[in-house]
């Protein structure tokens, strides 16, 4: 399947810009041009800096007339609905009538920029409108520049730009999730609670639906050849050329013979094709008479149970998870797919959030081990220094760590994980060359298969995150910004060999905050992590994740984001200003899930 245009067949949500104005005739005439110019400037800013998952610029729709009353507000709402607007930004350069110009769709993320100018105080309208939003239970984001501007200054100050972009990134994620599907392939893996699909969470918090396929459907499609055979041949040729097979870790008597290993490669590739087709469909299957199978499930994310009902008999899903989560395969460079190992749908949602905020691939990992400085020195003789001086976390898992996580992509000479449209062919090749495919340990995966094995390069700013479900509370988000680390090769080998060295490793140190109850030391970060899994995104995106969480009414129970980067709806301040974390919990409980 060389084309994935059907992947977003319904199109992408747009950002609607609402220019708001005072309806008094003389005031309206005086401010019309200025207000429209500000609105056009916001649209240009967002389209210039933001991209959809396919790499195309985000589209903004500016209402062509200024909104001064109820009739125009209703006309704008209808127009935006026709245009597929999923996020709203209102712009005002002076006083307007709040209750007559308000947008009342509670499910559309909404921010208001009130121009900070003394001649025509947009800030006064901003304050009055937010009071109306809060009184009506319609939380909105308040944007107000720090410095007073002249009335004829239509530029967007840098602090206003930062807030507009942070809000719009998060709002677009919310809009992209709505109506999409999480596809559960299989059920619960090895008793892991994160595999339990909670439909209430997906429906009420994310606006998503759920679909379910038994793993026997993958078996059926393998046995009956329900995949694109031409693509399979091309994929196998690509695998033989680009996927370097690593050392077999099994005792000689437990190793599979070469013919069985060759067959495992073929099955692994078929599994990848089939899971992708289950997610997004494949029009070529219809040409072969498989009309139903060609549809797919409109899945923006999926999970594969694997262990143990599958892996005790068939090759592991490590290859399908690693290659689909990566930004490239036999069809070239393309947007990653989000596929969670062990059907951990909560980690899949977290990966999806990180991907849609950054447009880059994600690393799925176990939060495997906290290595204290003392333990590292005892085992290796090496003394941790710099960002690692308080200890390190060993992030490692068998399958779904995208090959982008090698850090072999670069920007200005530094390792990065890029959106797919920025990745060059030579960078994809470096990621593949840095990865070996190791036969799985037969005592864990009796059915054989291959796991990706690589070491993430150090000095990358990353954010580790996870959504958890807690009885009586609901979903909560936790995150830790920090850096990947380079250890001396011999130190890495000694530490890595104590667990499963055939899997990809990321050494991580969270950014510490002296005196913080959690982030004062690395040990307490590990101690307070709410699950065995995490998702790792490139960049320090904690602020954007927190903004997104507030839109979804998901409180954040631990983070190390500076206070000045926290951006939530203005209503959150009414729940307390001394303790922002507690106020977040109260606000999310009071407003409830976005979709009821």
Residue list for the binding site for Mn(2+): 342, 366, 533
**Sequence-distant (≥ 6) Cβ neighbours of residue 74 within 8 angstroms:** none
CB 222 within 8 A of CB 266: no
Q: Kind and range of the H or E element at 30?
A: helix 25-49
Distance CA 525, CA 516 (A): 11
CA dihedral 549, 554, 558, 559 (to 10 degrees): 10
Count of other CB atoms within 10 angstroms of residue 587: 21
Strand boundaries in 288-399, DSSP class E: 299-304, 328-329, 332-333, 339-341, 363-371, 392-396
Phi/psi of residue 557, nearest 5 degrees = -100, -10
Q: Which of 22, 103, 366, 408 is catalytic?
A: 366
CB 136 within 8 A of CB 129: no
Angstrom distances, CA of residue 230 to CA of 37, 289, 309, 323, 583 = 53, 16, 30, 19, 56
Angstrom distances, CA of residue 222 to CA of 40, 218, 395, 514 = 53, 6, 33, 55
Distance CA 157, CA 466 (A): 34
Q: How is residue 438 annotated by DSSP?
A: E
Q: Is 366 tagged catalytic?
A: yes
Q: Which of 277, 335, 342, 496 is catalytic?
A: 342
Cα dihedral sign, 499-504-507-510? negative
Q: Kind and range of the H or E element at 212?
A: strand 209-213
CB 448 within 8 A of CB 440: yes
Q: Is 150 tagged catalytic?
A: no
Q: Which residues are catalytic?
A: 342, 366
């Amino acid at each position: 399947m060389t084309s994935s245009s059907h992947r977003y067949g319904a199109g992408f949500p747009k950002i609607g810009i609402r220019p708001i104005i005072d309806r008094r005739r003389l005031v309206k005439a005086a401010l019309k041009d200025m207000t429209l110019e500000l609105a056009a400037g916001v649209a240009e800013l967002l389209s210039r800096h933001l991209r959809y998952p396919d790499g195309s610029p985000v589209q903004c729709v500016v209402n062509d007339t200024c909104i001064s009353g109820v009739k125009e507000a209703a006309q704008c709402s209808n127009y935006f609905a026709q245009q597929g607007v999923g996020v709203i930004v209102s712009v005002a350069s002076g006083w307007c009538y709040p209750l007559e110009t308000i947008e009342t769709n509670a499910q559309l993320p909404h921010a208001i920029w009130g121009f900070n100018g003394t001649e025509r105080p947009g800030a006064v309208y901003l304050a009055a409108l937010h009071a109306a939003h809060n009184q009506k239970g319609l939380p909105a984001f308040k944007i107000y520049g720090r410095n007073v501007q002249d009335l004829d200054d239509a530029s967007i100050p840098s602090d206003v730009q930062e807030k507009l972009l942070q809000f719009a990134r998060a709002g677009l994620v919310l809009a992209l999730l709505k109506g999409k599907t999480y596809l559960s392939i299989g059920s619960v893996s090895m008793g892991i609670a994160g595999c339990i699909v909670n439909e209430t969470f997906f429906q009420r918090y994310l606006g998503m639906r759920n679909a379910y396929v038994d793993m026997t459907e993958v078996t059926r499609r393998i046995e009956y050849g329900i995949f694109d055979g031409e693509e399979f041949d091309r994929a196998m040729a690509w695998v033989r050329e680009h996927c370097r097979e690593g050392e077999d870790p099994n005792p000689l008597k437990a190793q599979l013979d070469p013919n069985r290993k060759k067959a495992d490669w073929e099955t692994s590739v078929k599994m990848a094709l089939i899971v992708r087709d289950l997610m997004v469909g494949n029009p070529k299957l219809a040409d072969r008479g498989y009309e139903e199978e060609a549809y797919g499930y409109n899945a923006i994310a999926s999970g594969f149970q694997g262990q143990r009902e599958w892996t005790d008999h068939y090759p592991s899903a490590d290859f399908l998870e690693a290659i689909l989560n990566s930004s490239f395969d036999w069809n070239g460079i393309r947007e990653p797919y989000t596929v969670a190992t062990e059907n951990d749908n909560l980690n899949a949602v977290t990966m999806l959030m990180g991907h849609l905020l950054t447009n880059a691939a994600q690393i799925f990992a176990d939060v495997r081990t906290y290595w204290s400085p003392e333990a590292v020195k005892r085992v290796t003789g090496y003394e941790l220094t710099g960002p690692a001086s308080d200890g390190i976390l060993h992030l490692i898992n068998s399958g779904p760590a995208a090959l982008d996580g090698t850090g072999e992509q670069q920007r200005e000479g530094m390792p990065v994980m890029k959106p797919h449209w920025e990745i060059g062919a030579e960078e994809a090749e470096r990621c593949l060359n840095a990865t070996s495919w190791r036969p799985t340990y037969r005592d864990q995966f009796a059915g054989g298969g291959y796991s990706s094995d690589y070491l993430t390069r150090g000095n990358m700013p990353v954010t580790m995150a996870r959504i958890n479900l807690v009885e009586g509370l609901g979903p909560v988000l936790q995150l830790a910004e920090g850096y990947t680390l380079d250890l001396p090769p011999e130190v890495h080998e000694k530490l890595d060999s104590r667990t499963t060295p055939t899997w990809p490793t990321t050494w991580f140190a969270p950014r510490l905050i002296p005196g913080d109850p959690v982030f004062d030391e690395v040990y307490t970060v590990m101690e307070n992590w709410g699950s065995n899994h995490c998702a790792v995104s490139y960049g320090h995106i904690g602020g954007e994740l927190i903004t997104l969480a507030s839109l979804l009414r998901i409180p954040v129970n631990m983070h190390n984001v500076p206070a000045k980067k926290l951006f939530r709806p203005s209503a959150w301040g009414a729940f307390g200003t001394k303790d922002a974390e507690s106020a977040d919990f109260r606000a999310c409980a009071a407003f409830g899930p976005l979709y009821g």
